[in-house]
Amino acid sequence: MAKGKAQEVQVPTDHEGVLIIVEQHGGQAKSVSWQLLGQGRRIADKLGTRLMALVMGHQVEEVAQEAIAYGADVVYLADDPVLEQYRTQPYAHTAVEVIREAKPEICLVGATYTGRDLAGAIATLVETGLTADCTQIDVEPPPSRLLLASRPAMGEKLMATILCKQRRPQMATARPGVFEALPKDPSRQGELVRVPVTIREEEIAARVLEFIRDPNRVNLEDAPVIVAGGMGMGGPEGFEMLRELARLLGGEVGATRPAVDAGWIDRAHQIGQTGQTVRPKLYIACGISGAVQHVVGMEGSQVIVAINQDPDAPIFQVADYRIVGDVHQIVPALIEEARRRALVGEEAVARG
Ligand SMILES: Cc1cc2nc3c(=O)[nH]c(=O)nc-3n(C[C@H](O)[C@H](O)[C@H](O)COP(=O)(O)OP(=O)(O)OC[C@H]3O[C@@H](n4cnc5c(N)ncnc54)[C@H](O)[C@@H]3O)c2cc1C
């Protein structure tokens, strides 16, 4: 009975285009939004359709202009005081209204804390399927136009590609760092559509009383530099050195899974297949062997420096710069050099 009923559902034919929901906080967009616009552009071109973006917030027109510069053809802008801070109800309500109006066939959201919350709420309200936390997203060319949303499954041993054949839009969240943003082109032209926000403050159940930033928050996703450590660091004290180097370089500390499992550092720092995917400008891998499960999470970095005492360590195959040596000698030398440069910089500023 249930099987027969599922087959009766008609695939809506009036949905077209790819919609990316842009995430911003305080007017600052998350880089995953631009990465999704990059992948959305590739998918939209493959389908011969338009790429749309939805920007929600208060006083965020600049973000909408940025979305055009990163590849959107049309940007829906919902700008209203009720959207100043993220709350599930007004954001989901507004996004659903835009989806009902714009009728995209595909809708992609970043798999951040906010994006995961929002995407689930939207999918429920528009009664469609959602593939969460994807590491690959592609599309079958017309006529099927099916979204191929892939993610690790079965304890990360398999990749599963999930299809949503009968509902529209086809929805997915994608992990930060897995796709590459297009270069920002401020001269790009696009259409800006202002959308009214119809939900009123009195209708919203949640109030944000205070916003407290977690001082220990790790932001690997947007860090320009990541100094990552593996079992070669020898223990938690080894990671103290990495913290200092990361601080001097204006970056964050990353780690391999065994270092996390050993309790040397918190799981929020883990990079790789079961951790985060990152794309910093500079990735310094210290005492990391270069297992494939780690490399998939960092190979998109612009410049990779690897320090390992084993000249045959696989990490050197993906490294742009190789340093064969003991991390306990090399990292302190890098810290010293970074401190010297910081001092020279401060003196230059003081001299004017
Ligand atoms: C399903 C699954 C999912 C996984 N997911 C992840 C994941 O998300 N992220 C992840 O990182 N791993 C993951 N792993 C584990 C992965 O397979 C590797 O075991 C792990 O990446 C290796 O960590 P490592 O490089 O720190 O340790 P090791 O492989 O032990 O390497 C240590 C390296 O340090 C070098 N070294 C030692 N001492 C020094 C020194 N003093 N100076 C310089 N170099 C030194 C050694 O030569 C060696 O190359 C996963 C595994 C499975 C099965």
Q: Does domain 225-351 have CATH number 1.10.3720.10?
A: no
Cβ atoms of residues 37 and 20 within 8 Å: yes
Chain-centroid distance of CA 128 in Å reads: 23
Q: What is the pLDDT of residue 83?
A: 98
Q: What is the pLDDT of residue 349?
A: 72
- Residue 2 banded pLDDT, cuts 50, 70, 90: very low
254 lines ligand 1 (CB under 6 A): no
CA dist list (Å): 282 to 79, 222, 231, 252, 306: 36, 12, 20, 11, 11
Measured in angstroms, how far is the CA atom of residue 315 from the centroid of ligand 1? 10
Residue to probe by mutation, ligand 1, list 157, 175, 178, 231, most atoms within 8 Å of CB: 231
pLDDT higher than threshold 90 for residue 263 = yes
For residue 30, how many other CB atoms are within 10 A of its CB? 20
Cβ atoms of residues 40 and 138 within 8 Å: no
Reading the block at residue 209, the tokens are 């009383």
* Start-end of H helices in the chain: 2-8, 31-47, 61-69, 88-102, 113-126, 236-249, 257-261, 292-295, 327-351
pLDDT higher than threshold 60 for residue 168 = yes
Cβ atoms of residues 298 and 227 within 8 Å: no
As a whole number, mean pLDDT of residues 119-144 equals: 96
- Residue 347 banded pLDDT, cuts 50, 70, 90: confident
Reading the block at residue 298, the tokens are 């960092």
Residue nearest to atom 1 of ligand 1 (CA): 156
pLDDT higher than threshold 50 for residue 49 = yes
Measured in angstroms, how far is the CA atom of residue 111 from the centroid of ligand 1? 25
Measured in angstroms, how far is the CA atom of residue 232 from the centroid of ligand 1? 8
Q: What is the pLDDT of residue 222?
A: 86
Task: Out of 109-123, 214-228, 268-282, pick the least confident.
Answer: 214-228
* Residues 26, 30, 33, 39, Cα dihedral to 10°: 160
- Residue 345 banded pLDDT, cuts 50, 70, 90: confident
Q: Look up residue 140 and give its DSSP letter.
A: P
> Which residues on adjacent β-strands are paired with residue 306?
285, 322
Q: Give me the sheet containing 51-57, strands edge to edge.
A: 130-134, 170-174, 106-110, 18-22, 51-57, 74-79, 191-194
Q: What is the pLDDT of residue 343?
A: 78
- Between CA 95 and CA 76 the distance in angstroms is 10
pLDDT higher than threshold 80 for residue 67 = yes
Closest by Cα among 32, 23, 1, 22 to 300: 32
Task: Out of 32-36, 37-41, 209-213, 328-332, pick the least confident.
Answer: 209-213
pLDDT higher than threshold 90 for residue 334 = yes
Q: What is the pLDDT of residue 212?
A: 87
Instruction: Tell me the pLDDT of the chain averaged across its residues.
Output: 94
pLDDT higher than threshold 80 for residue 307 = yes
93, amino acid identity: H
Percent of the chain with pLDDT over 70: 97
Q: What is the pLDDT of residue 7?
A: 53
322 lines ligand 1 (CB under 6 A): no
As a whole number, mean pLDDT of residues 95-110 equals: 98
- Between CA 222 and CA 34 the distance in angstroms is 12
Q: Look up residue 316 and give its DSSP letter.
A: G
Closest by Cα among 113, 122, 94, 105 to 167: 105
User: Three-state SS string across 141-184, please?
Assistant: CCCCCCEEEEEEECCCCEEEEECCCCCCCEEEEECCCCCCCCCC
Selected from 3.30.300.30, 3.40.50.620, 3.40.50.720, 3.40.50.1110, the CATH number assigned to the domain covering 11-203 reads: 3.40.50.620
pLDDT higher than threshold 80 for residue 156 = no
Task: Out of 145-154, 195-204, 250-259, 336-345, pick the least confident.
Answer: 336-345
* DSSP reduced 3-state for 349: helix
Asked if domains 11-203 and 225-351 share a fold, the reply is: yes
Which numbered atom of ligand 1 lies nearest the CA of 313? 49
The pTM assigned to this predicted structure is 0.83
- Between CA 93 and CA 109 the distance in angstroms is 15
Closest by Cα among 15, 20, 21 to 42: 20
Q: What is the pLDDT of residues 6-24, one digit of tens each?
A: 455 567 789 999 999 999 9
Residue to probe by mutation, ligand 1, list 154, 175, 237, 257, most atoms within 8 Å of CB: 257
Burial class (CB in 10 A: 0-12, 13-18, 19+), 60: buried
Q: What is the pLDDT of residue 1?
A: 38
Measured in angstroms, how far is the CA atom of residue 242 from the centroid of ligand 1? 16
Sequence ranges of the domains in the chain: 11-203, 225-351
Q: What is the pLDDT of residues 175-219, one digit of tens each?
A: 999 999 999 999 999 999 999 999 999 999 999 999 888 877 888
As a whole number, mean pLDDT of residues 154-171 equals: 91
pLDDT higher than threshold 80 for residue 330 = yes
Measured in angstroms, how far is the CA atom of residue 308 from the centroid of ligand 1? 11
